[in-house]
Chain A
């Protein structure tokens, strides 16, 4: 794995966390209950913290000079972001947000567990070791909500089943390997995504079973996030997220 591939891999890790963290922050003041408002924004905070670490590390690997995490967050265009399409999907209703979180948490936890163990890059291992503890807590929370909503009332069951059906087309992208993933696996830095999918499937099925939800059939999977081809949703989000530093370059509190 060369420097540029490592940089891309780190950008992907940082971008997944950043975009989902920003989405969750949109719930601030709008969640169905105070406790959940606090929970979603707490998860957001953890994700933004992970973003800062991953993007700072990625920023140190740019050949044309070091970039800060803020520069990478606020001054890249939509085509330069490499996050999964899943995490940029709009919050929708509470069920949509929970299902999106659940599908991602289970993937992110398995990925972070590998990153924490690898010895190819010790700084990334340290960030991941910290993240594992946080994501484990998030996964526990989102799984419990999937069970509560799925095995709740007829209405909550039907609505969360619809969220699952709607979001399923974004799950395939998590397990597609390109040359960066292959180089990452070869050097031991990244997990083998085929192996990871087996574990993910098992964990997803366990929770869905308990939630009395039906796992959707694998359909045509949407892809493109890893190469900067995003759904229209990302640009609107970036417009809001980036407007201040773009309007007032170099401004500070």
Chain B
């Protein structure tokens, strides 16, 4: 048990600082988005005299989860050397947690963002849904493969500008 009486940590202040640090922890697969943009960082709070960061992995086997955990810990420990990380599996990560601004950033970087809500099952594979080309904005596109370079993306091709592009799967 930590003896709170000898602690001289200011919990609220530390949490605030760690939260600020987290804005610079980027998703290694999508380096233009922070883990906060991605909805991977779920919570930062103070417990038992240290800061706790909670993250939720995007996919069960996503290799980036390990890198992200290390990056979060490194960043948080600059502020609080005893900071801890926790992995929360429930509720399961969903693309619904990716905000509007982050979706726009994806598009600017050539990745078609998830379309709509994950509750619409048709969005799962893009079947029957139009995924516009992030480069020329044409709606004349084709699914090449439901799987892509990372677990979270599917491969598409634009029939107008002929460029291949990736679509962030809606889950």
Contacts of B147 in A (CB 8 A): 35, 38-39, 42-43, 141
Contacts of A136 in B (CB 8 A): 124
Asked if A141 meets B146 with Cβ closer than 8 Å, knowing A42-B151, A127-B89, A129-B90, the reply is yes
Q: Are A46 and B61 in contact (CB under 8 A)?
A: yes
Q: Are B61 and A50 in contact (CB under 8 A)?
A: yes
Q: Are B124 and A137 in contact (CB under 8 A)?
A: yes
Q: Are B144 and A35 in contact (CB under 8 A)?
A: yes
Q: Which one of A39, A46, A125, A140 lies within 8 Å of B59 (CB-CB)?
A: A46
Contacts of B91 in A (CB 8 A): 129
Q: Are A39 and B146 in contact (CB under 8 A)?
A: yes
Does B93 touch A at the CB level, under 8 Å? yes
User: In whole angstroms, how far apart are the Cα atoms of A240 and B43 in the complex?
Assistant: 41
User: In whole angstroms, how far apart are the Cα atoms of A49 and B150 in the complex?
Assistant: 14
Offer 29 A-B interface pairs, CB within 8 angstroms, sorted by A: A36-B145, A39-B146, A42-B147, A45-B59, A45-B62, A46-B60, A46-B151, A47-B61, A48-B61, A49-B60, A49-B62, A50-B60, A50-B61, A52-B60, A53-B60, A125-B90, A126-B88, A126-B89, A129-B90, A129-B92, A132-B92, A133-B92, A133-B171, A134-B59, A137-B124, A137-B146, A140-B124, A140-B125, A140-B146
Which chain A residues have a beta carbon within 8 Å of chain B's beta carbons? 35-36, 38-39, 42-43, 45-50, 52-53, 122-123, 125-127, 129-134, 136-137, 140-141
Q: Do most interface residues of chain B lie in helix, strand or loop, or is the interface mixed? A: loop
Which chain B residues have a beta carbon within 8 Å of chain A's beta carbons? 57, 59-63, 88-93, 124-125, 144-149, 151, 155, 169, 171
Contacts of A46 in B (CB 8 A): 59-61, 151
Q: What is the distance, in angstroms, from A33's C-beta to the closest C-beta of chain B?
A: 9
Which A-chain residue is minimally distant from B91 (CB atoms)?
A129
Q: What is the distance, in angstroms, from B137's C-beta to the closest C-beta of chain A?
A: 24
Asked if A126 meets B90 with Cβ closer than 8 Å, knowing A49-B60, A140-B125, the reply is yes
Q: Which one of B61, B93, B148 lies within 8 Å of A38 (CB-CB)?
A: B148
Q: Are B60 and A131 in contact (CB under 8 A)?
A: yes
Contacts of A42 in B (CB 8 A): 147-148, 151
User: In whole angstroms, how far apart are the Cα atoms of A212 and B60 in the complex?
Assistant: 35
Q: What is the distance, in angstroms, from A53's C-beta to the closest C-beta of chain B?
A: 6
| Residue of B125, B147, B151 most packed against chain A (CB within 10 A) | B147
Q: Are B145 and A130 in contact (CB under 8 A)?
A: no
User: In whole angstroms, how far apart are the Cα atoms of A125 and B91 in the complex?
Assistant: 10
Contacts of B62 in A (CB 8 A): 45, 49
| Residue of B57, B59, B148, B171 most packed against chain A (CB within 10 A) | B59
Q: What is the distance, in angstroms, from B33's C-beta to the closest C-beta of chain A?
A: 20
Q: What is the distance, in angstroms, from B144's C-beta to the closest C-beta of chain A?
A: 6
User: In whole angstroms, how far apart are the Cα atoms of A48 and B66 in the complex?
Assistant: 14
Q: What is the distance, in angstroms, from A43's C-beta to the closest C-beta of chain B?
A: 8
Q: Which one of A45, A123, A126, A127 lies within 8 Å of B61 (CB-CB)?
A: A45
Q: What is the distance, in angstroms, from B124's C-beta to the closest C-beta of chain A?
A: 6
Contacts of B92 in A (CB 8 A): 126, 129-130, 132-133
Contacts of B88 in A (CB 8 A): 126
Contacts of A52 in B (CB 8 A): 60-61
Q: What is the distance, in angstroms, from A48's C-beta to the closest C-beta of chain B?
A: 5
Q: Are B145 and A35 in contact (CB under 8 A)?
A: yes
Contacts of A133 in B (CB 8 A): 92, 171
Contacts of A122 in B (CB 8 A): 90
Contacts of B57 in A (CB 8 A): 49, 130
Contacts of A141 in B (CB 8 A): 146-147
Q: What is the distance, in angstroms, from B38's C-beta to the closest C-beta of chain A?
A: 16
Q: What is the distance, in angstroms, from B98's C-beta to the closest C-beta of chain A?
A: 15
User: In whole angstroms, how far apart are the Cα atoms of A50 and B61 in the complex?
Assistant: 7
Q: What is the distance, in angstroms, from B90's C-beta to the closest C-beta of chain A?
A: 3
Contacts of B59 in A (CB 8 A): 45-46, 49, 130, 134
